[in-house]
């Protein structure tokens, strides 16, 4: 579920090459950007949460805790964590795409 790869191609997110095709940004937050993506092999729509480790700073352990929790959570009202990819500077959380807006909108 966790893959580590170095960064270093022209693409802004080379770790996703051959796995996911990124589309529009569907959300942003203090530490992350969420992009709609398509899994290349299956054609399934997913959400990719992209976090910059340098911006996370002291919150990095909290993110690792969130990832550990999401790996074991399975509930109809929680987006499923499908994959985690990590480089020297970024963490990518590939999540089930749950359209319909933010929870805060309700």
What is the per-residue pLDDT for 80?
Answer: 94
What is the per-residue pLDDT for 105?
Answer: 59
What is the per-residue pLDDT for 106?
Answer: 55
Show the low-confidence residues of the chain (pLDDT under 50).
Answer: 1-9
What is the per-residue pLDDT for 10?
Answer: 55
Among 78, 98, 84, 90, smallest CA distance to 19 is for 84
What is the per-residue pLDDT for 102?
Answer: 63
What is the per-residue pLDDT for 95?
Answer: 95
Distances in Å between the Cα of 8 and the Cα atoms of 12, 32, 87 are 9, 21, 10
What is the per-residue pLDDT for 30?
Answer: 82
Half-sphere exposure (Cβ direction) of 32: Cα atoms closer than 13 Å: 16
In three-state secondary structure terms, 48 is: strand
């Amino acid at each position: 579920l966790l893959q580590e790869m170095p960064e270093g191609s022209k693409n802004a997110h080379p770790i996703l090459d051959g796995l996911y095709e990124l589309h529009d940004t569907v959300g942003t937050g203090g530490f992350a950007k969420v992009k709609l993506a398509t899994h290349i092999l299956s054609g399934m729509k997913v959400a990719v949460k992209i976090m910059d480790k340098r911006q996370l700073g002291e919150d990095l352990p909290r993110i690792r805790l969130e990832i550990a929790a999401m790996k074991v959570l399975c509930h109809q009202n929680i987006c499923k964590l499908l994959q985690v990819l990590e480089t020297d500077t970024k963490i990518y959380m590939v999540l089930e795409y749950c359209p319909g807006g933010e929870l805060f909108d309700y």
